[in-house]
Structure 1
Amino acid sequence: VWGDVLDVGEVGADDDFFALGGHSLLATRVTHRLGAALGTHVPLHLVFQHPTLTELAAQLGIPGESRPPIPVAPRAANPDGTITFPATSGQKRLWLLCGLDPQANLAYTLNGGARISGRLDVPALAKAVEEVAHRHEILRTTLREENGEVVQVVHPVWSGNWSSSADPQSAEAASDPEATRTYDEEQLLAEWRHSTVDLAEGPLFRTRIVRCADDAHLLLLSLHHTIADGWTLSLLLEEIAAAYTALGAGRSLPPAPVLQYGDFAHARAAEPTTADDAGLAHWLRHLAGAHAPDLPTDHPRPAVRTHNGEAIAVELSAEQVGEVARRTGTTAFAVVATALTVVLGALSGSRDVTIGIPTSGREHPDTAGVLGFFTNTLPLRRVLDPKATLAQTLRTTHDALVAAHRYAETPFEEIVRHAVPATEGHTRSPLFQTMLALNEAPSRNLRLPGLTVDRLDIPPAGTQFDLSLHLEQGEKAITGYLTYNTDLFADSTARLLPERLASV
């Protein structure tokens, strides 16, 4: 299982999962595979606590609890053909945020795509996208309020407007020899990432095929976070590729999956988190007395929280990070998280630093192939000890991450509701103002037969927090981008954070 998930050859009994290139999302896949093979639930935190094959195998010998499958919810169509499901706590939070500040829609939009070189069958690709949207209810979903409650609304038909004949750059206009062919990729991508949506009107999943030349096209994708996460984007690209390949070969597509995101939401609504939940109790202890550090800003903080932002590129040395992780028996995430908290502590003058970290939210193995918004955000608090050695500091961070994964199923909204005073204002995000995401999604590559495809990374046009660091680990470099709130920081100030992070 390890060799397959990590895409490596033989794995030794004493090899470390994270030293072989593993991270939390790959660990999640390992737990899904092992759980299916053993017929039991394999908690994610076990991989972090026991990262070698020998250690993990010993833990798997201990009887665990099996998890019942997620039941398929009843479906009753409304008169207009739509189907409604309860909204998850995460969807409700984003509905509120985007209602208070429409600019938040840009911050909570996943953009992606690909440059495609070769003889692309444009109608087949368009058909593949439509078929995938038909297979997954969440891609045809919007939100609305009913009797004071936010609900999901699944529409019978997807209207993602994947191309427009009025656009001289579109695939449909490609056959018109008189059409203007001026092409500015930078401007096109800027317009795409700045295009917003209405959560009630939709569509929340949009695509566009752009013809650059006879043998060069762009595929652009946009999904609002209320219906998707990084894992979803990866699954979506895989399914589009599979559908395109099947259509080209004249094969029929497999039936739509039985389990959909609405089923997960329906099951979650039936199991609310209570105040005596063990996970919630852990988080309340973890955050007792915590104070989010106040970073110095270039501009006064607005009276109401905003999401206006820009992105700058970030690059760290994967070799240096990996070496420190191996030497201290920790992980790349622990190294980067520790460095970030040290930088934030120095900037704020506080030793008590809390940052946000995303988890997949897919602890249940049934969710592995389901598209939707599963990501849960957790507060990682570090109280820095100036007398501690580097190894001690990293181990403390690592232990905090293990505990976070042990209690990762406690919804962030419940943590906030119980840990944040009701009197706290709306000028900033509760609990933390800086997010760190490392390897937040599996591979986002699109593979189409007979074509050369290069991934397009398109950062959001807003920022979810004051500072959000999104990184992906490669063999030689850890790359990504930092989004920063332009109402608080000047560009020159924001660029200091990656520099200081690299130096630490």
Structure 2
Amino acid sequence: MRTQGVRRRAGGDRGRGRPELTAAVARIWHELIGTVAADDDDFFELGGDSLLATWAVARIQEELGIDVTLDDLFQRTRLSELVAHLQTLPRAPRGDTPAADADEGALTAAERAVWLAAEVAPQPTAYLISVVVEVRGDLDADLLEAALGDVTARHEALRTAFPLTGTEPRRRVVAPGRPHVTRVTEAAPPGPDRLRELAAEDIERPVDLEQAPLFRARLVTDGDRAVALLLTVHHAVFDARSLELLVRELGACCDARLGGGAADLTPVPGPATAGARQRAWLAGPEGRRAVAELAGSLTGLPVAGPFPGARPSDAVERAGAHWRGPVDEDLAQAVRRLALRRGATLHMAGLAAFAVALADWTGTEDLAVGAGFSGRTSPEAQNAIGCFVNVLPIRIRLRGPEPFADVLARAREATLFVARHQDVPFESLRARLRQEGVAVPEVRVAFGAQDVARPVHRGEKFELIGKEADTGQARLDLTCWLEAAGEDDLQAFWTYRPGLLTSSDIADLHRRFIGALRDGTGTELAHS
């Protein structure tokens, strides 16, 4: 996977010595992971994952002018090994793609995918995200509200709507202005449960995609003091990385205002810029080749998915449910060790176990498992609030009873293959398959692994702590998130469609999932 249309510095890394290159790569790792790396340190042992690896590769390409790939990092995970390999790679920058598009009203592929999904979703609130930014310490409510205006001015996605022109949505960005914020004053300082209740109340009301901004804000206060900022925001302009950026920039703007200075309102290139570059890349030979390769990998895949005999009823479609299952501490440690030994990530190990469990439960051994890729394959996209995520199918083929290590190896290979092609929009993939007369597979199940450590900004007198609240929405038939809250803390968070699946079904799937992890790691069931 490579950056699209990213301008690299003239001359790149030409003439740079080994110590200087080591320091430059170590700096990039430190800024992404937060840990200082020595020569023998391993990217993934330090806390890196597939997403951070994607960003590291993009930044090495951009800042050092070296044509490195994601595979290079996965094959050489130690700093010294990677630096030695970087010295052998070409330094000449590839050609640029346009930074602007004459059609400024066009939606990006990610925005359009969410817009289309929201249009056909049975629930008008299916693609809303509920965000709680808790305030600890002393922070004036007026100041936090002004900081939200600063962030909104800086990021065009927070001022974007998608009104229809005929039957097609078009992008419309409104001028910066102070967003409307509703104040909620509680009789007593609200705790976490009350904040969740307030967030849940607002998620029941739709957001009009034709009117900017595509979020609602409520500020919970205790007198003049801010307690929490609650946002209900449409997924078309927001994703998981956006929450990190929101918390970081709200904090920075509050700090600036508290210090009597001016907040940084320099606009950052938003989704429209990334979308223009993606369209230009797709029209070129590299993009066309990537679409063809990804489409070819799905030839012969069963179309119906893992639940071929089941079709949700209207009642099923109207609601979602979720279920949490634990992963005990010994098993969590063993899974991480297994992944490191096999040159894999937590996501790859979990995906292998998910495929084993699903195949065992359904009898379907050729699976398309959806995975959400960040879509932020250029350094500038890493710093823009907006929707960039691209959900693509990863094909996992099982071969009956077999060693878990073999399934993990194929899951690793399949994930890296799709990651190299993650800039291909799913709609482009569908169009290519239709062009070839191939039935388009449905992506009805998905798997992901995520670090649930909350984004935090620590100011001198206050802290901001961000969290996406559970909404209970089921956008697909079945999704499993392997959530990590530390080295020893893993949970499986399942969302599903009631009626199509039951809580007993999910408990059974979770049992099989844990069993696959135990088989793969040789870990016995913990007894109290």
**Residues 115-153 of structure 1, C-alpha deviations (whole Å, 9 max, x = no match):** 323322110000000111011111010102225432111
CA distance in 1, matches of 2:156, 2:338: 44
Assess, with a 3 A threshold, how the Cα gap between structure 1 residues 197 and 67 changes in structure 2: closer, same or farther: farther
SS in 2 for 1:86: coil
Q: How many correspondences in the alignment?
A: 482
Bigger drift between 263-272 and 469-478 goes to 263-272
Q: Which residue of 1 aligns with 2:313?
A: 302
> Is 1:502 equivalent to 2:514 in the alignment?
yes
Assess, with a 3 A threshold, how the Cα gap between structure 1 residues 37 and 270 changes in structure 2: closer, same or farther: closer
Alignment of 1:268-287 (within 5 A): 268-273=278-283, 277-287=288-298
Give the AA of the match of 2:432: H
Q: Which residue of 2 aligns with 1:37?
A: 63
CA distance in 2, matches of 1:4, 1:356: 29
> Is 1:95 equivalent to 2:115 in the alignment?
yes
Can you give the 5+ residue segments of structure 2 that lack an aligned partner in the other structure?
A: 1-25, 517-528
Q: Which residue of 2 aligns with 1:226?
A: 236
Q: Which residue of 2 aligns with 1:57?
A: 83
> Is 1:478 equivalent to 2:461 in the alignment?
no
**Residues 203-247 of structure 1, C-alpha deviations (whole Å, 9 max, x = no match):** 313322113688772222232121122112211111111001111
Bigger drift between 180-189 and 347-356 goes to 180-189
Does the 8 Å CA contact 1:115/1:219 hold for their aligned counterparts? yes
SS in 1 for 2:202: helix
Give the AA of the match of 1:249: G
Does the 8 Å CA contact 2:189/2:227 hold for their aligned counterparts? no
Assess, with a 3 A threshold, how the Cα gap between structure 1 residues 476 and 482 changes in structure 2: closer, same or farther: same
1:381 to 395, 417, 421: 395
Assess, with a 3 A threshold, how the Cα gap between structure 1 residues 335 and 270 changes in structure 2: closer, same or farther: closer
CA distance in 2, matches of 1:100, 1:371: 25
Does the 8 Å CA contact 1:112/1:221 hold for their aligned counterparts? yes
**Residues 334-355 of structure 1, C-alpha deviations (whole Å, 9 max, x = no match):** 1100000011101110111110
Task: Tell me the CA shift for residue 461 of structure 1.
Answer: 3.7
Task: Tell me the CA shift for residue 311 of structure 1.
Answer: 2.5
Task: Tell me the CA shift for residue 458 of structure 1.
Answer: 0.5
Task: Tell me the CA shift for residue 502 of structure 1.
Answer: 2.3
Q: Which residue of 1 aligns with 2:161?
A: 142
Does the 8 Å CA contact 1:308/1:463 hold for their aligned counterparts? yes
Bigger drift between 298-307 and 439-448 goes to 298-307
SS in 1 for 2:227: strand
Q: Which residue of 2 aligns with 1:79?
A: none
> Is 1:338 equivalent to 2:352 in the alignment?
yes
Does the 8 Å CA contact 1:25/1:441 hold for their aligned counterparts? no
**Residues 188-207 of structure 1, C-alpha deviations (whole Å, 9 max, x = no match):** 23213333212112431332
**Residues 271-295 of structure 1, C-alpha deviations (whole Å, 9 max, x = no match):** 4457982211221221111115655
Does the 8 Å CA contact 2:97/2:281 hold for their aligned counterparts? no
**Residues 299-329 of structure 1, C-alpha deviations (whole Å, 9 max, x = no match):** 8523799463123334435312102213333
2:420 to 406, 422, 440: 406
Bigger drift between 85-94 and 182-191 goes to 182-191
2:411 to 391, 397, 416: 397
Alignment of 1:208-247 (within 5 A): 208-211=218-221, 217-247=227-257
Does the 8 Å CA contact 2:247/2:455 hold for their aligned counterparts? yes
> Is 1:48 equivalent to 2:65 in the alignment?
no
Give the AA of the match of 1:449: E
Q: Which residue of 1 aligns with 2:33?
A: 6
Does the 8 Å CA contact 1:128/1:243 hold for their aligned counterparts? yes
CA distance in 1, matches of 2:85, 2:239: 31
SS in 1 for 2:384: coil
Give the AA of the match of 1:433: R
Return the TM-score normalized by structure 1: 0.84
CA distance in 2, matches of 1:270, 1:142: 23
**Residues 1-29 of structure 1, C-alpha deviations (whole Å, 9 max, x = no match):** 3344322344343x432233210221123
RMSD, matched Cα: 3.4
Does the 8 Å CA contact 2:133/2:464 hold for their aligned counterparts? yes
Assess, with a 3 A threshold, how the Cα gap between structure 1 residues 223 and 312 changes in structure 2: closer, same or farther: same
Give the AA of the match of 2:165: E
Give the AA of the match of 1:289: G
Does the 8 Å CA contact 1:230/1:441 hold for their aligned counterparts? no
Does the 8 Å CA contact 1:114/1:446 hold for their aligned counterparts? no
CA distance in 1, matches of 2:427, 2:504: 34
CA distance in 2, matches of 1:199, 1:120: 32
2:125 to 81, 84, 106: 106
Assess, with a 3 A threshold, how the Cα gap between structure 1 residues 149 and 41 changes in structure 2: closer, same or farther: farther
**Residues 406-440 of structure 1, C-alpha deviations (whole Å, 9 max, x = no match):** 12211111112223699999xxx953211112137
Assess, with a 3 A threshold, how the Cα gap between structure 1 residues 440 and 423 changes in structure 2: closer, same or farther: farther
Q: Which residue of 1 aligns with 2:171?
A: 152
Assess, with a 3 A threshold, how the Cα gap between structure 1 residues 37 and 154 changes in structure 2: closer, same or farther: closer
Q: Which residue of 2 aligns with 1:356?
A: 370
Q: Which residue of 2 aligns with 1:17?
A: 43
SS in 1 for 2:474: coil
Percent identity between the two aligned chains: 27
Assess, with a 3 A threshold, how the Cα gap between structure 1 residues 207 and 497 changes in structure 2: closer, same or farther: farther
Higher relative contact order (CA 8 A, sep 6+): 1
Higher helix share: 2
Assess, with a 3 A threshold, how the Cα gap between structure 1 residues 274 and 498 changes in structure 2: closer, same or farther: farther
1:492 to 504, 511, 515: 504
Return the TM-score normalized by structure 2: 0.81
Task: Tell me the CA shift for residue 501 of structure 1.
Answer: 1.9
Alignment of 1:430-469 (within 5 A): 430-439=441-450, 444-469=455-480
Q: Which residue of 1 aligns with 2:323?
A: 312
